[in-house]
Amino acid sequence: MNPRNRFSSGCFSLNFAQALRQFCFTKHRGPPHVRRGVAARTATRTGISFGMWSRLGRLLVLVFALAPAVSTAAACCMSATTFGVGRLLAWEDFAAGVQLGHTRILGQWDPQGTLRLHGSSFSDGLTRVEPWAIVRLHERLQLQARVPVLVNDRAVGAMSQVAAGLGDLGGALRWEAVSLGEFERLPSLGFALGVLAPTGRRAEQAFAPLGAGATGRGAWGASLALESEYTVLPWFVRLDAGVSLFAPFTRSDTGATQQFGPVVQAMLSGGRELVPDKLVLAMATQVEWEGALRLQGELVSSSQAFVPSVVTSLSWRADPHVTLVAALSASVWPSGFAFNRDARVGFVLGGRYGYF
């Protein structure tokens, strides 16, 4: 038996079954002889026996209970594995995976928004390996954690350098306030409260001679995000938005106190199920804005940052437990579209195993 059918409780069908039970046994609650009497009188008027009504009723219940499971099981979970760590599928209790990505930094936007591409004598790249895990604490509550490891390769002329290290450890608690399909014609709604540990290496802590080896912000951070999704098979559209705040830290080079500005991120994504229950293609547009940083409590002028980016993702469910993901991303635009950020292109390959 296909586990997707065995667990036909995907986001919609569980709530459909619960609603059906409530409708049959709560709204129309009454003594058995009263319900039988009503059915018998109805059967007499229509010329259909009680046994035929009973068999027909059971057949209709079966049809309506199974049809949503077939048509909406994928609806509740199409976007769950398309971008980033994602979330648990409706029937999963636990999931773990790893992401392997590589990014080339092609240039930088200055504070005035001018894009300055690196020449052929300079190259800069980041390789990222990130194991992660998600566990279900409650029907609506999930806990996730990730452990990134980064490798920075940099070359200037004939000189090159490679440095690696642990990135900023991350964790989040996700609450699903409204499940997809829980209410007809309403989108899902979820919230995530995250924390970032200062295990990464900041830019001023990078190694000589080329300054390679920065692996994170190296500061405590906290974030609050929301996620909302609406699905009409075989399509879905999703909105993610969040804000992150960072605690001050002491720079290792000057001893000055520094604090990163707040970071606001928003992503609008959409996708289509190309092969039912198997293959999903998705695209996303993301923007990130960062406020001015503070040095010794004073705002540093022209230190705000902004960059838009685009991502394309292909997610393939190899079997009910295993999903493979490939994604391409780019944040290279003409001058004026960003400031104080890198211009990057990259890819991510990922795999996940879901337990149920």
Residue 21: band (very low, low, confident or very high) from pLDDT cuts 50, 70, 90: very low
pLDDT of residue 316: 95
Measured CA angle at 208 (ends 202, 213), to 5 deg: 40
pLDDT of residue 300: 96
pLDDT in tens, 63-72: 344 444 334 4
pLDDT of residue 37: 41
pLDDT, mean of residues 8-20: 34
pLDDT of residue 214: 95
In the predicted model, is pLDDT for residue 22 greater than 90?
Answer: no
Mean pLDDT over each residue of the chain, to the nearest integer: 83
CA distance 351 to 75: 21
pLDDT in tens, 196-253: 999 999 999 999 999 999 999 999 999 999 999 999 989 999 999 999 999 999 999 9
Percent of the residues in the chain that have a pLDDT greater than 70, as a whole number: 78
Per-state percent for the chain, helix, strand, coil, to nearest 5: 15, 50, 35
pLDDT of residue 105: 97
What CATH class has 94-355? mainly beta
pLDDT of residue 152: 97
pLDDT, mean of residues 333-346: 95
> Is there a contact between 127 and 118 (Cβ–Cβ < 8 Å)?
no
pLDDT in tens, 264-276: 999 999 999 999 9
Q: Looking at beta carbons, which pairs linking 346-350 to residues 24 or more positions away fall under 8 Å?
A: 346/101, 346/102, 346/103, 346/104, 346/126, 347/101, 347/102, 348/99, 348/100, 348/101, 349/99, 349/100, 349/101, 349/324, 349/325, 350/97, 350/98, 350/99, 350/100, 350/324, 350/325, 350/326
Ranges of each domain in the chain: 3-72, 94-355
pLDDT in tens, 101-149: 999 999 999 999 999 999 889 999 999 999 999 999 999 999 999 999 9
Q: What is the DSSP string of 194-239?
A: EEE-S-SPPGGGPBTTTTB---S--S-EEEEEEEEEEEETTEEEEE
- Cβ neighbours, 10 Å, residue 45: 8
In the predicted model, is pLDDT for residue 13 greater than 80?
Answer: no
Grouping H, G, I as helix, E, B as strand and the rest as coil, residue 156 is strand
Residue 297: band (very low, low, confident or very high) from pLDDT cuts 50, 70, 90: very high
